[in-house]
Structure 1
Amino acid sequence: MPVQQRKVKGTPSHINVIYQAKQDGPAADTAAAETPWRRPAIILMPLCLLLLILVIVMAQRVYHLTKKSEEQLEILEIENIVLSETLQQLTTGKEDNCSMCEVGWDQWGNRCYFFATSVKTWHRGLKACTSMSASLVKIETKKELEFLQRETSKHFYPRQRDRYYSPFWTGLTYDNNIGNWTWADGSRFSFQLFQVSGAKGCVYIQKEKFYPQSCAKRDLYICEKLAKFGGP
């Protein structure tokens, strides 16, 4: 009997110990398994946040540098435009103190142009230009053509309710001997510059266009000669 009492008294406490070990074992194992992963996560989170801040800061710096570069490029473009206009003024003689042409003549590039205010026949106009060491205008480039079209379009006067644009003789005339249009200096005309209809007479310019007519007609005329660069 004493031996049985020990077994009865000892059995519940032994069961409770085993039950409690089984109940606490998995939780303890889980906590022990999770602990090694929590520490790196806690360390990495601030690093990730720091990297994100650095990326934002660098993006802002790149944006500001790009914006600054665009502003500097715009300033350079404006300066180039100003320099180009200044150079054009110097080479075309638009400024009085830079012109190498005589009074009453307009300079464009390295040439001087005289827009007559009195009318003459084509041959008398050529003679008048020759007396001033010049010749009736000869158009050689598209730029020169545009310049003459622009300048002659400024010469007009009102007629009734419209404008009448003054015609100006050019140096272009039809040479019957060779059957082609030629300039006053004898060089041949290129139809790549502008078109002329017909095959006779002399050519005048009026409101940006060119027309042939009898050389005996009396019109204004344009003389042309080289500018005197380097002084008299």
Structure 2
Amino acid sequence: MASMVLPSSGEEENQWGLLGTQQRSGQRKKRSLPCFTDSELKGSKGRRFHLNCSGVLNLKCSKQPAASSRRSGVTSERVALLVLSVLLAAAVTALGVTLSENTQTKKSLQKLEDVAKHLSEILSGTEPCKVEQPSKPPSVRSVRCEDGWEPQGGKCYFFSSFSLTWTQSRTHCTSMRGDLVVINSKEEQRFLESRVRGKMEDYYDRFWIGLTDSKNEDEWLWVDNTGLNTSLEFWLGSNPDNWTGKNPDGEDCVTMGEKDGATDLKSWNDISCESPHKSICEKPEKA
């Protein structure tokens, strides 16, 4: 846009006044002025004149602050839009990263599931590993003794849990193809004394053995009709004493047992054959 500086205020009035005078005086010859299309002419005191091609002079008072405010408002809006655009782009980027991580996680889980399924199929088609258990030691009970009988020294022993007279106890033993025990050695006496002591419930809870003098007083015989060997006697205290306090017939049968333990294995007692007591049965082991 072309601009020209006009004369001072007085000169402007003279020149334009002259132009006006010539026009009013009827002069047809017009003064040619330069034609500025949409031109602005600067005058003094900051005034601006607009001269169009038709020769009409328009006066404009430009308001610079208003235009500056509009430009400032446009600039602020653009800045705000730019910030929002940046934030939106950042949010989209973060969402994309999250979706990508989730996708990778799902793929990893799917791979692990596939591997677990494959291993399960392999294991289902494989026989389980068998762990060999250590073999149990053989049972202490000899197969040559029946249930309820205890083996010792080639014989089987049965310790009853109920009380009978001496004669009844012997009958019970013979019903099981045995008889009341016959003690033939110190080792056998030691074994029986230990077992009986562990089974006794009180001091009087003794067991019948197969020794009696019921045929002839003081002639002690075993149930197999062998006489008592005086070197294998295990009488307790002053026994045998044939006490008649409970039975006038005296004491013709023998029990064994010492709850607190027998000194030198001495645990035999002569007692009335009619007293009820437990018993020890004996028979040979099976061949």
Rg larger in structure: 2
- CA distance in structure 2 between the partners assigned to 1:150 and 1:225 by the alignment: 19
- CA distance in structure 2 between the partners assigned to 1:190 and 1:169 by the alignment: 18
Change (3 A) 1:215 1:142: same
* Alignment size in residue pairs: 131
- CA distance in structure 2 between the partners assigned to 1:95 and 1:181 by the alignment: 35
Contact persistence 1:99–1:107 (CA under 8 A): no
Q: How does 1:168-207 map to 2 (within 5 A)?
A: 168-177=207-216, 179-193=218-232, 194-195=234-235, 196-199=239-242, 200-207=251-258
Q: How does 1:55-204 map to 2 (within 5 A)?
A: 95-96=140-141, 98-157=142-201, 163-164=202-203, 166-177=205-216, 179-193=218-232, 194-195=234-235, 196-199=239-242, 200-204=251-255
The answer to which structure has the higher helix fraction is 1
The answer to which structure has the higher strand fraction is 1
Output the aligned Cα RMSD: 2.0
Letter in 2 for 1:120: L
Contact persistence 1:155–1:165 (CA under 8 A): no
Larger RCO, structures 1/2 (Cα 8 Å, 6+ apart): 1
- CA distance in structure 2 between the partners assigned to 1:149 and 1:177 by the alignment: 27
Give ranges in structure 2 of 5+ residues lacking alignment.
1-137, 243-250
**SS of residue paired to 1:217:** coil
Letter in 2 for 1:223: C
Q: Deviations over 1:153-211 (max 9, x none)?
A: 10133xxxxx5462000000114437401111211011212234235410000124110
Provide runs of 4+ in structure 1 moved above 4 Å.
none
% identical equivalent positions: 34
TM-score by length of 2: 0.43
Contact persistence 1:153–1:165 (CA under 8 A): no
TM-score by length of 1: 0.52
Give ranges in structure 1 of 5+ residues lacking alignment.
1-92, 158-162
**SS of residue paired to 1:118:** coil
The residue number in structure 2 matching 1:35 is: none
The residue number in structure 1 matching 2:271 is: 213
- CA distance in structure 1 between the partners assigned to 2:204 and 2:274 by the alignment: 20
Change (3 A) 1:184 1:212: same
